[in-house]
Structure 1
Amino acid sequence: MSGKDDIGGYTLGHLPGQRWTIGTDMVGTVRPQPASRPVRIPARPLDVEIDLARTALLVVDMQNDFLHPDGWFAGRGVDISPLSTVVPAIRDLSASCRAASIPVVWVNWGVGHGADGLPANVLFRGKRKADATGYGEPGALREGSWGAAVADELAPEATDLVVPKQRFSGFHETRLDSVLRNLGVTTLLFAGINIDRCVFETLTDAGARGYDCLLVEDACTTVSPPEISRAITWLIEELHGFVIRRDHIVEALTPFP
């Protein structure tokens, strides 16, 4: 990405944290750092203070193949009705983040053609029977397909980022970590589905990479029994990060246009 600057030169770099300024007789590699925007948020197990200038929202798997009646999940006989319950919450949360200049990153299943990068133990999770439609097969989570796209009710805006993945974790062999580092992000807000599968694996993977992780519990859900969600939030409180409520983070964002 490039563009004209104020001195007749131009800038190079897609993300603010990685931009150079090219002048007629000098290349500027200084990357201006955003001013810190600390806020305190009610959380479990303790309240947490985060820097909004270094925070991003990660929304996991809110895509047609999981949410739509014509999608892959419903076609497998899964009751998808619990999943749509968080759509309004995520729509509101993502809008609030954009208004506060917090990056919104959509991380969806998007398997390459043929799924030749997936080992058998991963393929088995999506294809338990020979006549089932597995990961990456026509009609199942294929990158670039309708099913891999963010659901229409949550269509990303031009400022959002979309990262495809081929594992339960959004970090495994994807560009997600590079994108977040280039944005200067150190804190991640997590929303999406399923809380006990891709949300949880992405969150624990993020923690292992040094990110501070906050689960927005009422912007997450699952098709699993309710006690599974309770177990996951307990694990996050105990070992992996913090658990917050959507209204608390939205309220914290309000003073920051």
Structure 2
Amino acid sequence: MRRLGSTHVNSWGATASSISLLRPERPSRPVSVPSQPQALTFDLARTAIIVIDMQNDFCHPDGWLASIGVDITAARRPIDPLKTLLPALRKHDVPVIWLNWGNRPDRLNLPPSVLHVYDPAGEDKGIGAAIGSTDRKVLEDGSWNAAIIDELEVDPEDIHISKYRMSGFWDTPLEAILKNLRVDTLLFSGVNSDQCVLSTLTDAGCLGYDCILLDDCSATTSPDFCQDATVYNVRQCYGFVASGSDLAKNLIR
């Protein structure tokens, strides 16, 4: 019997004369970590990590945020914890999903409300604007600006999704991909924790996913109280807050 599906875990059994809708069984692979508001155990076999917006425009000294005077020190804090955690997760076959801004060059799928966030006076200084040269366009799909920073190694098996809103669930294939991966638990990391990370996490919680914010693997260039409020709201309303470093230690043992 052959398997019919884009992933093994969400595939049918198929022959010329019959179809089996029974999906392959997956043994549980539990792992425990300290977390808030309670200690947490989850199943690595039903887990994926979403890494949000660790891109040159947000995290590189020559990127967009730095060019407009934003201190990107905080945006670079997740780099070292992720450099340790991501390889450990891959060794346990946990899918790594890179969820990044990657806009159309013509910006036809972006409403004024999205453009206004980054260009409030309409001066063409936000998404799609050129930085220094015509081939350096802010968060444009395929550009250096939208690329993942070099410090984070990308594996050929990793999954890449472009997004066009604060939440990665709008106008993207993220939910369809998660269904084909047959995951229940999502680890959240990246920048900015109070904006795109929280927006995506909130939507995931509303869709019924188990949500874990990795506080050392996420950060924001916003004032400190924004990070504090994000951590409070996640543990109070949407899921759990844990340390990616604690998780990595438990995976590497």
Does TM, normalized by the shorter one, top 0.5? yes
Aligned residue number for residue 169 of structure 1: 167
Residue 154 of structure 1, CA deviation? 1.1
8 Å Cα contact 1:73/1:80 also seen in 2: yes
Correspondence 1:235 to 2:233:
yes
CA distance in 2, matches of 1:216, 1:94: 12
Contact (CA 8 Å) 2:216, 2:245: kept in 1 or not?
A: no
Does the 8 Å CA contact 1:100/1:254 hold for their aligned counterparts?
no
User: Is the CA contact (8 Å cut-off) linking 1:115 and 1:137 kept in structure 2?
Assistant: no
Deviates more, 1:15-24 or 1:49-58: 15-24
Change (3 A) 1:42 1:125: same
Structure 1 stretches of 4+ moved >6 Å: none
Give the distance between the partners of 1:234 and 1:23, measured in 2 at CA. 52
Aligned with 2:99 (options 100, 107, 121): 107
- What is the correspondence of 1:69-218 to structure 2 with a 5 Å cutoff? 69-138=61-130, 139-218=137-216
- Judge conservation of contact 2:213–2:242 (CA < 8 Å) in 1: yes
Contact 1:60–1:191, Cα closer than 8 Å, also in 2: yes
For the residue of structure 2 that corresponds to 1:188, the secondary structure is: strand
SS at match of 1:102: coil
TM-score (structure 1 length as normaliser): 0.89
Give the Å deviation of 1:133.
Answer: 2.4
Contact between 2:83 and 2:153, CA under 8 Å: does it hold in 1? no
Shift of 1:75: 2.0
Aligned-pair CA distance for 1:36 = 1.2
Partner Cα separation in structure 2 for residue 16 and residue 215 of structure 1:
28
CA contact (8 A) 1:107 1:163 kept: yes
Opposite residue 130 of structure 1, the aligned amino acid is G
Please tell me the residue identity of whatever aligns with 1:95: P
Between the aligned partners of 2:210 and 2:105, the Cα distance in structure 1 is: 34
Question: Which consecutive unaligned segments of at least 5 residues does structure 1 have?
Answer: 1-6
Paired with 2:210 and 2:190, the residues of 1 have a C-alpha distance of 18
Deviation at 1:21, TM superposition (A): 5.3
**Larger deviation, residues 15-24 vs 186-195:** 15-24
Question: Secondary structure of 1:219's match?
Answer: strand
Contact 2:81 2:245 in 1 (8 A): no
d(CA) in 2 for partners of 1:46, 1:145: 42
1: distance between equivalents of 2:79 and 2:172? Answer: 25
Q: Deviations over 1:209-247 (max 9, x none)?
A: 100000110111111112211111011111111000123
Rate the CA distance shift 1:12–1:133 in 2: closer, same or farther, 3 A: farther
Per-residue CA distance 1:35-71 (angstroms, 9 max, x = gap): 1122222110111221111001110000111112222
Overall identity of the aligned pairs, in %: 40
SS of aligned partner of 2:216: strand
CA distance in 1, matches of 2:164, 2:75: 21
Question: Which ranges in structure 2 are unaligned for 5 or more consecutive residues?
Answer: 131-136
RMSD value, Cα: 1.9
How many Å separate the matches in 2 of 1:153 and 1:31? 38
When normalised by structure 2's length, the TM-score is 0.90
Kept in 2, the 8 Å contact 1:114–1:137? The answer is no
